[in-house]
Amino acid sequence: EPETIPQVNLVPTVALLLGVPIPYSNIGEVMADMFSGDGDAVSAALQQLSVYHINAKQVDRFLQSYSLVAQDLPAEQLQHLQELFSSAVEEHTQLLTQVQGTVVPPELEPRLGSLISRFQHYLREARAVCTQSWARFHPLRMVGGCTLIASSCLLCYVASELAASSQSFCCSCLLYPLFWGPVGAAVLWLVHVFTQEGLDLLLGLSWAAAVSQLGFFWHWWGQHLKRALLTGSQLPLASGGLRQRLRAWLGLAFPMGILFFRCGAMFSDSFVVAEARVAPFLLASLVMLLVGKLHWDGHLTVPEGPKQQLLGFSSYRREIWYLLCLVAMFLVCVRLSSFFHQCREEIPQCRPSVFLSPLASLRNTRAKNLFYLLCVALLAGLVYAVQSWLRHYGNLNSSDPLVLFVRWGFPLVVLCIACYWAVASSADDSLGKLQELVQVAVVVFPRAVYGLASTGLLLLLCNPMTVFTKDTRESAGCIVTPYLGVPGSEVDFLHVIPQIYKRMQESQKSRLERGSCRATVAAYGLGSVYSAALVIALTLLGFLLMLLHSERLSFAFLLLFVEAFVLLHIHTCARNLAGDAELFSVPWYAVISWLLAASQFFYSTGHQPIFPAIHWNAAFVGFHLDHNTNLLPAVLVGANTFASHILFAVGCPLLLLWPFVCEMSNSQRKKLKKESQEELQEVEEQMMEMRLRESPEEFSTALLRLGLKYLFVLGAQLLACVCAAMILRRHLMVWKVFAPKFLFESLGFVVSSICLLLGISLVMRVDCAVSTWFSQLRLR
C-alpha cells in the first residue's frame, strides 16, 4: 500500500528543490525524504531539519498576516500553533549552536528525531486548522436549497399542466399560497422572538417559500382528488393503461431527453468546459429530431388517397421545401456562431476568436476600414429589416410618436453607434489636436444612444399601439346647425333646407360609390400589434447591447436575430404541418430550443462562465473616467454578460404570438376549393393576433403557461448546476469550473426571470392599450 500524501505537499517540495522561495499562501508540508542528501543519517537529519524550519517559518508568517486581515481562524488554536512553532524553532537554534559543521555530538542525536516530529506535528496541525475553517460546508442548508429549487421546478411543471385543464381553480391554487408565505415567515419570526435568537434573513425567506409551496401542493392535491372522484365515476379505467402511459412518456421523451442531456452535462467538468460546443450540438439535434418526428408521424407527406395507398407511393408536400430551407439556414447559423467563442484558460491550445478584439487593436488600416464598414452596414441592414417587417404587416403607417421613432429614431441610433465606433477605433496618435474633441465624442455618442433608447422604450410603454386607423363611418352629428329660438322668418327655413339636401347628397354619393359595403373602420397593423411592440423592444435592447460589446460582435448579434427569426418560423411551419389545433399552448420543444439558443449565444457573444472572461470595459462605454457608485458599472457589465439571456427572455412571448402572426390562409383556401362553390361567401378572414382577443381568458392562461414552462426549463438547468456544485464540492476543479458556472447560471436565472416578466408585462400592456382603443372606437 503506497503512502498517500496531500497534493498541497508538492508545492513546498518543488519550490525548495528548485531553490525558489515557498509561495506565500502555502499550507503544505515539505516531503523531507527528498532532502536526505548523500551523507549519513545524521547529516540527512540536519538537512531535513533546516528544510522543515524554512517551511514552518513560511506557514507561521502566513498565519500571522492572515489573522491580522481576517478573523475566521479561531484565536486559541492560532495561539497554540504559535507556541508549538516558537518552541520548536528555539530548540532548533539551540541545537545548531551546539553543532560544528556536520559533526554532531552523539548525545544530541535522539533529539534530532524528536525535533523533526515536532515540526511535522506543527505543520500538520496548521493545515488541519485551516482546512477545518475554510473548506467548510453547511450540508443541511445545501440539501434544503436543492430541495427548494427542485420543488419550485415541480410546482412550475404542475401549474403549467394545471392551467391547461381549468382556469377557475388555477387562480385559487396560485393566489392562496401567496398568503401562506408571509404567514409562515411571521410564524418563524415569532419563534425567533420567543427563543431570543437572531433571525437569519436567508432562513426566513426560505421558510416562507417552502410554506407557500406546501400550500400550493396541498391545494392542488385537494383539487386533484376532487377531480379524480368526479371523472372516476364517469369513465372506467382505461385497459391499455400501461402501454398508453408508456406511449405518452415516449412522446414527451423527445424534447425532455435533450433537456436531460443538457442538465446531465453540468455534472462533468469536461462538458462544462466544452459547453460552447455542447449547446449548439443539442440544439441542432433537437431541430433535426423535430423534423424526423414530423416525417415519422406522416405530417410531411401529402395525405394519401386510396389510389396512392395501393401503389405504396408517398410524396412530400410542397411546404416541405420551405421547412428544409429554414432548417438548413438554422444549421448554418448555428455553425457560424461557433466562430465567436472565447477561450478558457484550462485549454492552452485554444485560440480565441479574432472578432473579439476591438477594432482599435487592428494594425492594418485597410482591414480596419473594411470591418468598420461591414459593421455599420450590418446595423443599417438590421434597421432596414425591422422596418420592412413592420411595413409588411402594416405597423408603420400611423403617425404615432412610436412609429415616428421607428422611422427616424432607429437610423439616428445607428448613426450615433457608428460615430462612436469610428471615434473609439481611431488610432490615438493620428488625430493630434482633436484629442479633446475625441474625448468628448467618446462620451457623448454612447450617452446619446442611451437617451434615444430609453426614449424609445418610454414611448413604447406609453403608447404601444402601432395601428393606423381609417374611419369612414358617417359622423353622427346633427344634420342642421342648431340655432336658438323659433324660426321667425322664411329666411331661416330657407337656411335649413339646403343643409338637409346637402346631407342627403353626401350619403347617396357614399352609398353609390361603395356598392353594398357598409362604412367601416379600417385598422392597419392590428393583426400583429403585439409582435410589433415586442420586435421594437427587442431591436432597441439589441442596439443597447451591441453598443456595450466590441464592434465586430455585431456579426454575432445579427446571427442571433436571424437564428431567432428562423427558429420562430420553423416552429410555425411545424405547427401548420402537424395540423395542431391547440394554438394557445406552446409545445415543450419550442421552449427548450429557445433556451438552448439563449445558452448558445451566451458563448457566441464572446463570453465564458469564468471570471477572467468578463468584459470589464463595457462599464466604461459612455463613461470615460471612474464611476462614483458601483451600481451603474454593475448594470452595464451585467447587461453585457447576459445579453443573450435578456434578448431571448424578453422575446419569449413571440413563441406564442408568431403562429398567429404567420397564420397560413393557404390551408383554408385549399379547403374552400375542395368544398362546393356555393360556400364561397363564407370566406374565413385572417384574424391573426386578434384571435387572441376572442378568448381573453385563454390568452392570459396561455401567457401564464408559457412563462411557467420557461421557468421550469431555466429552473431545471439551475438545479443541475446547484446539484453539481453540491455533490462535487470536493472535486479538483470545483473552484475553477463548477463554482463559477453555478454563479453565472444563477445570475443568468435571475436576469432571465426578470426579463421574462418584463416581456410578458409588455404584452399585457399592449393588451390594455388595444382594449382601450376598441372601447374608444365603440364610443364614437
Partner 1 sequence: MREAGIGRLLAANLLCALSVLLTAVLPALLLDGFSVLGTHLTWLCVCSVCVATLNIILHLVLKPNQSPKRRSFAHKISRFLKCCIYFFMSCILFHAIIVLYGAPLIELVTETFLFAVLLSTFTTLQCLCLLGPNIQAWIRVFSKNGAMSIWESSLQITSMCSILGAWFGAFPIPLDWDRPWQVWPISCSLGATFGYVAGLIIAPLWIHWNRKQLTYKSR
- Closer by beta carbon to partner 1, 341 or else 571: 341
The reply on whether position 93 binds partner 1 by CB under 8 A is no
Which grid coordinates belong to 413? 441610433
Instruction: Identify which of 424, 331, 338 has the alpha carbon closest to the alpha carbon of residue 375.
Output: 424
The reply on whether position 353 binds partner 1 by CB under 8 A is no
Could you identify the residue written with the cell 353594398?
Answer: 516
Q: How far is the CB of 274 from partner 1 (least distance, A)?
A: 4
The reply on whether position 728 binds partner 1 by CB under 8 A is no
Q: Which one among 277, 495, 503, 765 touches partner 1, defined by CB under 8 A?
A: 277
Which grid coordinates belong to 21? 522561495
Q: How far is the CB of 181 from partner 1 (least distance, A)?
A: 42
Could you identify the residue written with the cell 522543515?
Answer: 52
Q: Which one among 89, 334, 573, 706 touches partner 1, defined by CB under 8 A?
A: 334
Could you identify the residue written with the cell 339646403?
Answer: 498
Q: How far is the CB of 352 from partner 1 (least distance, A)?
A: 17
Q: Which one among 66, 281, 322, 623 touches partner 1, defined by CB under 8 A?
A: 281
Q: Name the β-bridge partners of 522.
A: 470
Q: How far is the CB of 644 from partner 1 (least distance, A)?
A: 19
- Rounded CA separation 91/118 (Å): 10
Region of 115-123, 307-315, 430-438, 759-767 interacting with partner 1 (CB under 8 A): 307-315
Q: Which one among 208, 259, 278, 417 touches partner 1, defined by CB under 8 A?
A: 278
- Closer by beta carbon to partner 1, 301 or else 463: 301
Longest dimension (CA), the chain: 149
Give the DSSP H or E segment for 468. Answer: strand 468-471
Burial of 548 (0-12, 13-18, 19+ CB in 10 A): buried
Cα dihedral 53/59/62/65 (nearest 10): -70
Could you identify the residue written with the cell 456595450?
Answer: 548
Q: What are phi and psi of 490, to 5 degrees?
A: -65, -25
Which grid coordinates belong to 365? 488600416
Q: Which one among 67, 151, 285, 469 touches partner 1, defined by CB under 8 A?
A: 285
Could you identify the residue written with the cell 519550490?
Answer: 15
Q: Which residues from 148-187 bind partner 1, rule CB under 8 A?
A: none
- Closer by beta carbon to partner 1, 185 or else 258: 258
Q: Which one among 108, 256, 332, 457 touches partner 1, defined by CB under 8 A?
A: 332
The reply on whether position 527 binds partner 1 by CB under 8 A is no
Q: Which one among 65, 147, 165, 309 touches partner 1, defined by CB under 8 A?
A: 309
The reply on whether position 298 binds partner 1 by CB under 8 A is yes
Q: Which one among 44, 164, 205, 331 touches partner 1, defined by CB under 8 A?
A: 331
The reply on whether position 297 binds partner 1 by CB under 8 A is yes
Q: How far is the CB of 271 from partner 1 (least distance, A)?
A: 6
The reply on whether position 335 binds partner 1 by CB under 8 A is yes
Region of 143-151, 295-303, 382-390, 746-754 interacting with partner 1 (CB under 8 A): 295-303
Instruction: Identify which of 50, 68, 49, 58 has the alpha carbon closest to the alpha carbon of residue 126.
Output: 58
Q: Which one among 137, 221, 260, 313 touches partner 1, defined by CB under 8 A?
A: 313
Q: Name the β-bridge partners of 100.
A: 103
Alpha-carbon 223 to chain mean position: 34
Could you identify the residue written with the cell 457566441?
Answer: 604
Q: What are phi and psi of 750, to 5 degrees?
A: -60, -45
Alpha-carbon 53 to chain mean position: 54
Region of 122-130, 166-174, 328-336, 633-641 interacting with partner 1 (CB under 8 A): 328-336
The reply on whether position 273 binds partner 1 by CB under 8 A is yes
Count of residues near partner 1 by CB under 8 A: 29
Cβ atoms within 10 Å, residue 519: 12
Q: Which one among 167, 301, 397, 463 touches partner 1, defined by CB under 8 A?
A: 301
Angle at CA 761, nearest 5°, toward 388 and 220? 130
Q: How far is the CB of 290 from partner 1 (least distance, A)?
A: 15
Could you identify the residue written with the cell 369612414?
Answer: 472
Q: How far is the CB of 168 from partner 1 (least distance, A)?
A: 38
Instruction: Identify which of 549, 572, 574 has the alpha carbon closest to the alpha carbon of residue 560.
Output: 549
Name the residues that contact partner 1, by CB under 8 A.
268, 270-271, 273-274, 277-278, 280-281, 284-285, 288, 295-298, 301, 309-310, 312-316, 331-332, 334-335, 338
